[in-house]
Structure 1
Amino acid sequence: MGKNSKDNKEIIYLDTIELYSSLAQIDHGLIESIQSGKKNSKEAGSSTKKSGETDAGLFKLIQGSLQLATTNTHSNLSSEQELVNITFNDYQLNRLLNKLGVGKLNNNSKQGDLTIKNGEFEIYDFSSLANLSNETFENFINLIMESADSNNEESNDFKKGLDIIKKYGQVMTDLLPETVLLKVNNSISFLKTSCLRMSNSQLQLLSGSKRKIHVLGVIENEVSNEDRKLESLFEEIGDNPGLITKFVPDFNDFLLIQSQIAQKKDKLVKPVAVYF
């Protein structure tokens, strides 16, 4: 392969706001991005003005046809701009990694530091679990249980387990809306679904993969090292109502630990990019 094959990446997540914020603090990367956007916007505006001058004196029916053509031109420009932005963003990610130094980032572990976590991984998409609550899925599962000639006790145990899964997915989706969790070694990254380059169904393809994944992000916090019990969370609030605002993050820690997604002192990461 070519000289720069090590820079070839399959990027599955990229937060461009965080990317350009980091670059702006290093080498004015944000300014370059804005200048590129202004240039393309000006070209699109020029095209619109020219069309307006041409059809100003024509019959309304013809004017309508020309207006439709102008709309299509704008659509093409938008698609082209999106392609340019993706290419530009991928280049800027490599640029940021080169400037930061990947080897140095591997050793960063303090809160507020940019770091790189890499290794085997697990992805948790709670919205998929929450979607198991739809009636079609339940009818399908019931049909399978009937076909398997399961006794009542087995069928009830299965339905109870399924109900727990659905409710767990719904609670986590409510607590972490539009979020996918990525577990890599002793870190958990909170991925915004709007920055993913894969659909929910495509994410399922990564389940069980043995490839090493890389996460570039900022260490924001760590899972609480306190012993958490659900009863104690409510008791503490009863004794001290001022702890109400602290309930959600504490409850998140409790659920992540109880479901064995997280362990105490795991790093909580706000990701900039995730890639293979």
Structure 2
Amino acid sequence: MSVQPKEFIYVDEIELNSILAQLDNGLPTVIKDVQEALSGNTEITSSEIGKNGKLDVVVAKAGTNKKDKSESHSIEQQMSQQAIETVYSDYAVNIIKKRLDEERQLKVTSKQAVGAYVLLQSKFEILNFSRMNRLMNNSALADMLTEQEGLDHEELDSQIEGLRQISKLTDLYSTITKGVDLISINNALVYAESKNFRMNASQRQVLSNGNRKITILGIIESVVSEEDMDVDFQVDDNTGLSFLSDLESGINMYLIHLLGDKILKKDDRLVKPIAIYFE
């Protein structure tokens, strides 16, 4: 029976290695599996967790003469390095899933307590406001509106004003979600660091147009309350500096809530993803 490969689109290597380090024999198991998978092609000569939290793996071409300094050999080693890093991450995700499932720590519904590991599969929508903001502020877009045929002066002014208002909104939302893609799934909102995706923003946006369900391996970071979606700007003499931190968090949640219940509502979970893929 054939196995359908997973299409990994996101991996948080720092979180991945942190969890592996806490699992009994987790890291050696992954390295052993990767060596077996690449048997006859490459071998892992050393590995350690670097200062940045990522796994630094040194690989060598099997049967290679160490004196061979040719350009082709250098390219082969670079290709082997890239391949093994990708294979390592994919194997690591499978090991973590297996171990957490064996220990009954992996839940398949979002209604869990803070700190719970979850494996969620759902229809989804990806929001990248930084990309949207760049589009709205592109002068070519306004130029195209003014060049439309059949629009009278009033209609054109209305469209230009609409574009201006949307641009202001994307300015605001790109600020509060800087460096992050929001992924809306059933009863949860996923905050995914944009740098950890294996595809660019344009490719990610196309994914939302499909009918596939996305799979999220992640950690419940917060449960949204009614108070989270409200913001109070009142300041008095007893207000401490902690007010600023609370205010920033409150504004962020309030603005996300304004996008609609489809994106965020009371009792939804905020999820930090470890890996995101399609099956």
**Same structural fold, with TM-score higher than 0.5 when normalized by the shorter chain:** yes
Q: Secondary structure at the match of 1:123?
A: strand
* Percent of residue pairs identical: 28
**Aligned residue in 2 for 1:57:** none
Name structure 2 gaps, 5 residues minimum: 33-43, 48-56
Structure 1: segments with no counterpart, 5+ residues: 52-65
Q: Which residue of 2 aligns with 1:54?
A: none
> What is the CA-CA distance between 1:130 and the residue it aligns to?
0.8
Cα distance, 1:141–1:38 mapped onto 2, change above 3 Å: farther
Aligned to 2:124: 121
| In the alignment, structure 1 residue 109 sits paired with structure 2 residue 119 | no
Looking at structure 2, the residues matched to 241 and 251 of structure 1 have their Cα atoms a distance apart, in angstroms, of 17
1:186 to 1:139, Cα distance in 2 relative to 1, 3 A: same
- From 99, 118, 130, the equivalent of 2:133 is 130
Report the Cα distance in structure 2 between the residues aligned to 1:194 and 1:162, rounded to whole angstroms.
29
Deviation string 1:207-245 (CA, Å, 9 cap, x unpaired) is: 23221111111111123412755xx53224887253111
2:82 partner amino acid = E
Equivalent AA in structure 1 for residue 14 of structure 2? I
The answer on whether the counterparts of 1:189 and 1:269 sit within 8 Å (CA) in structure 2 is: yes
| 2:147 counterpart of 1:143 | yes
Distance 1:135 1:237 in 2: 44
CA RMSD, Structure 1 to Structure 2 (Å):
2.9
Where does residue 223 of structure 2 map in the other structure? Answer: 222
1:167 corresponds in structure 2 to: 168
Point out the structure with the larger strand share. 2
Determine if the alignment matches structure 1 residue 99 to structure 2 residue 96: no
Pairing 1:41–2:44 present: no
Cα deviation, residue 42, structure 1: 7.1
Which structure: larger Rg? 1
Moved more, 168-177 or 196-205: 168-177
Compared CA separation, residues 186 and 237, structure 1 to 2 (3 A)? farther
Asked if 1:233 is matched to 2:232, the reply is yes
Whether the 8 Å contact between 1:257 and 1:264 is mirrored in structure 2 is no
Deviations 1:104-154 (A, max 9, x none): 41146110111122211111011121102022222123223xx132441x3
Q: Say if 2:25 is the partner of 1:22.
A: no
2:8 alignment counterpart:
11
SS at match of 1:203: helix
The structural deviation recorded for 1:269 is: 0.7
Aligned to 2:39: none
What is aligned with 1:58?
Answer: none
Q: Name which of structure 1's ranges 73-82 and 159-168 shifts more when overlaid on structure 2.
A: 73-82
Counterpart CA distance in 2 for 1:148 and 1:237 is 55
Matches within 5 A, 1:260-271: 260=260, 261-271=263-273
Counting matched residue pairs gives 249
Task: Kindly state the Cα deviation for residue 48 of structure 1 after the two structures are TM-superposed.
Answer: 11
1:161 Cα deviation from its structure 2 partner: 2.3
* CA pair 200-77 structure 1, distance change in 2 beyond 3 A: same
The structure-2 alpha-carbon separation of the partners of 1:221 and 1:237, relative to structure 1 and needing over 3 Å to count, comes to: farther
Q: Structure 1 residue 30: deviation in Å?
A: 3.2
Q: 1:98 to 1:114 in 2, by over 3 A?
A: same
Quote the residue 2:274 is aligned against: 272
Q: Which residue of 2 aligns with 1:62?
A: none
Query: Once the two structures are superposed, what CA deviation does each residue of 1:45-97 show, in whole Å capped at 9, x if it has no partner?
Result: xx99847xxxxxxxxxxxxxx8xx55x75454223211111122112212221
Contact 1:24/1:31 (<8 A) preserved: no
